[in-house]
């Protein structure tokens, strides 16, 4: 840690979807960097197990229920976290619904569930937690977008790609709104990474073709995503806001 960083375990970070594959990498790295971490998820069993693994006495890692499709759930979580520890200075909006679907037969209910859940989670996370950060004059928000939102999607459904494109726009909206209050808002746009959700989405017989289509010829390492999140959460990252960090193996170049 550098000279501008807070004392170890004084800064509070919140990660949504913390019990999932990518979420676990992010949580572990933020905790290793010296931050208290709240693991927010609807799967409390998995979130609690990871929290206890990181901090058996619950002094630096705790689980909390958070339904990212509900604004009131964000409000309730913020109130509990602030009363237990402090107003969070880091929020990682990682939770999302990932589904593959045929574009031309995609139903209204399935479309709305994925789109609203994924976009609401970012919007209300930035609105509720970002507002609290603005009041204290400092904060770092990192939103997990996706390559699918940039190239129109490949293995994922059109509803997922549309939601991730909206996330990048939402990131810019809140980056502009909160910049003067010391709060930065950035997104990370991963391509396919070596995670359970990727292997569940891509059938084994199609994986070879997927890898052949990636310029670097391999899946990404989620540990690097976690490092990037921690970098953007640093106090020295004050001049980076409204940006989208592409980590996609060369699949999308701009």
Catalytic residues, by residue number, are 160
- Please give the full DSSP string across 135-194, using - where no structure is assigned: HHT-EEEEEE--THHHH--SSS-HHHHHHHHHHHHHHHHHHHHHGGGTEEEEEEEE-SBS
Residue 27: closest CA among 246, 237, 36 = 36
pLDDT in tens, 181-234: 999 999 999 998 998 888 887 788 888 888 999 999 999 999 999 999 999 999
Give domain limits for the chain. 12-244
Beta-bridge mates of residue 143? 93, 187
C-alpha 24, offset from chain centre: 11
Q: What is the DSSP letter of 220?
A: B
Per-residue pLDDT of the chain (254 residues; tens, 9 = 90+): 444 555 677 899 999 999 999 999 999 999 999 999 999 999 999 999 999 999 999 999 999 999 999 999 999 999 999 999 999 999 999 999 877 788 888 899 999 999 988 999 999 999 999 999 999 999 999 999 999 899 887 667 889 999 999 999 999 999 999 999 999 999 999 998 998 888 887 788 888 888 999 999 999 999 999 999 999 999 999 999 999 999 999 999 98
Q: Does domain 12-244 have CATH number 3.40.50.720?
A: yes
> How far is residue 27's CA from residue 209's CA, in Å, rounded to a whole number?
32
Q: What is the DSSP secondary structure assignment for residue 58, as one 8-state letter?
A: S
């Amino acid at each position: 840690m550098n000279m501008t960083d807070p004392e170890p375990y004084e800064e509070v970070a919140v990660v949504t979807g913390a019990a999932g594959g990518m979420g676990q990498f992010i949580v572990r790295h933020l905790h290793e960097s010296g931050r208290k971490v709240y693991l927010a998820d609807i799967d409390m069993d998995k979130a609690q197990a990871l929290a206890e693994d990181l901090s058996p006495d619950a002094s630096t890692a705790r689980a909390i229920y958070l339904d990212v499709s509900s604004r009131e759930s964000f409000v309730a979580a913020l109130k509990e976290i602030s009363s237990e520890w402090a107003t969070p200075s880091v929020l990682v909006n990682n939770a999302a619904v990932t589904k593959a679907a045929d574009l031309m037969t995609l139903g209204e209910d399935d479309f709305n569930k994925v789109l609203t859940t994924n976009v609401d989670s970012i919007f209300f996370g930035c609105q509720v937690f970002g507002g609290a950060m603005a009041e204290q004059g400092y904060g770092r928000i990192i939103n997990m977008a996706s390559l699918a939102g940039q190239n129109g999607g490949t293995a994922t459904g059109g509803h997922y790609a549309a939601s991730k494109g909206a996330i990048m726009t939402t990131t810019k909206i809140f980056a502009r709104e909160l910049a003067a209050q010391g709060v930065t808002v950035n997104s990370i746009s991963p391509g396919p990474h070596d995670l359970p959700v990727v292997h569940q989405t891509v059938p084994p017989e199609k994986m070879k073709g997927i890898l052949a289509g990636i310029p670097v010829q391999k899946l990404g390492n989620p540990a690097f995503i976690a490092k990037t999140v921690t970098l953007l959460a640093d106090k020295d990252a004050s001049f980076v806001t409204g940006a989208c960090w592409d980590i996609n193996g060369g699949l999308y170049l701009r």
